[in-house]
Amino acid sequence: MPEAVRRTLAPALVVSALLLATPALAGNGGFAPVEGVSPNADRINDAYNWVAIFTGAVFLLVQISLIWFIIRYRRRRRARTVEGAQIHGNTKLELAWTLAPVLILVAIGSYVFYKLPGIENVPSANAAGGRLDVQVDGYRYYWNYEYPNGVIAVDTLRAPLDQNVRLQIAAPDFEVIHSWWIPALGGKRDAIPGITNELWFRARLPGTYRGQCAEFCGIQHARMEAAVEVLPREEFDTWLEDEDRAQRNGTSDLGEQTYAGACAKCHGLEGEGDIGPTLRGNGLLGDPEAVEEVVRNGLGKMPPVGKDWGDRQMDALTEYLEEEVQGGS
């Protein structure tokens, strides 16, 4: 390929890749945010649309004037040496281009500040319908959730329909920073070791809402996905009770969830291009104590993914590895 062609082609490819990557998770071909299903997400989108009106208008104004000036004031047949008209000052125009941006900033600022409390402020626990509090912890490369009754879930959070949910987002002190973000359910919050950040949502439609860790946290950052599955209130309550019982007597799928979230993203059984050694045929799997040792302390490049897990989660994982992963391989 000739050098000149290569020089033009490479940036063009990069730019189109970036342009195509954006719409992948957004609405309207990349121009609009994901449609919200929670009041705070709606307010974020309102603010986005309000800002887009002004930026869109300024963009059109600038581009149209640019094209108009290029055509209207082109050189034509004038000699290169001919000087243009000498213009000094235009008070009305200068006032207009000073005042208009000030007014635009005031309009954007006041609207955003008007919307902000409804985005930021977590509804009180006494608000109608009550509130569910969930602890959300970011780990390399999975999300660990803990419900008030002690139920633990990995990556997929179940939540009740039409109820305020408060997320207390953090990371253990041996972790790096992650960021929780489910676009349809509102804002984004960093999970920072030692600091608890809050976020909330109240989903008005049942369904599964997906998101992705939004802070580059390491080699498997891209696989650190999260989902919130919104269930009708009664169904959720029943699930939470049943799940608690199942986790207590070791019959839940917590082991499988933990394996999928904390192990399988790096250790594929098929050696499918993953970053850690395959677990297929690994004798360690049948030895709960050895598994616990590695999981709590890490090994080589492997972080201590389960350093602070409770027995419930550790036992669930070791049992799952012993019975399902080793047995099935």
Q: H or E segment at 160?
A: strand 156-160
Among 43, 115, 178, 202, binds ligand CUA (CB under 6 A): 178
Using CA atoms, how far apart are residues 304 and 299, in angstroms rounded to an integer? Answer: 8
Residue 69 CB-half CA count within 13 A: 6
**DSSP assignments along 34-100, one per residue:** PPPSSHHHHHHHHHHHHHHHHHHHHHHHHHHHHHHHHHHT--TT--TT---------HHHHHHHHHH
Question: Which three-class secondary structure state does DSSP give residue 309?
Answer: coil
Does the protein bind ligand CUA through residue 174 (CB under 6 A)? no
Whether the Cβ atoms of residue 145 and residue 156 lie closer than 8 Å to each other: no
215 binds ligand CUA (CB under 6 A): yes
Separation of alpha carbons 230 and 202, rounded Å = 10
Q: Which is nearer to ligand CUA, 151 or 213 (CB)?
A: 213
- Please say which residue, 215 or 253, places its beta carbon nearer to ligand CUA: 215
SS3 166: strand
Shortest Å, Cβ 216 to ligand CUA: 6
CB of 224 to ligand CUA, least distance (A): 4
Question: How is residue 12 written in tokens?
Answer: 């063009």
Taking the least distance from each CB to ligand CUA, the nearer of 181 and 209 is: 181
Nearest to ligand CUA of 203, 266 (CB atom): 266
Task: Determine, following the binding rule CB under 6 A, whether residue 217 of this chain makes contact with ligand CUA.
Answer: yes
Tell the smallest beta-carbon distance from residue 272 to ligand CUA (Å). Answer: 21
- Nearest residue (CB) to ligand CUA, 213 versus 321: 213
Range in contact with ligand CUA (rule: CB under 6 A) among 16-24, 90-98, 151-159, 208-216: 208-216
User: Which residues face 193 on adjacent strands?
Assistant: 171
Interaction between residue 213 and ligand CUA (CB under 6 A): yes
182 binds ligand CUA (CB under 6 A): no
Q: Is 138 or 160 the residue whose CB approaches ligand CUA more closely?
A: 138
- For residue 274, state whether it binds ligand CUA (rule: CB under 6 A): no
The encoded tokens of residue 271 equal: 């050696």
Which residues, numbered 53-112, are part of the site for ligand CUA (CB under 6 A)? none
Chain contacts with ligand CUA (rule: CB under 6 A): 138, 141, 178, 213, 215-217, 221, 224
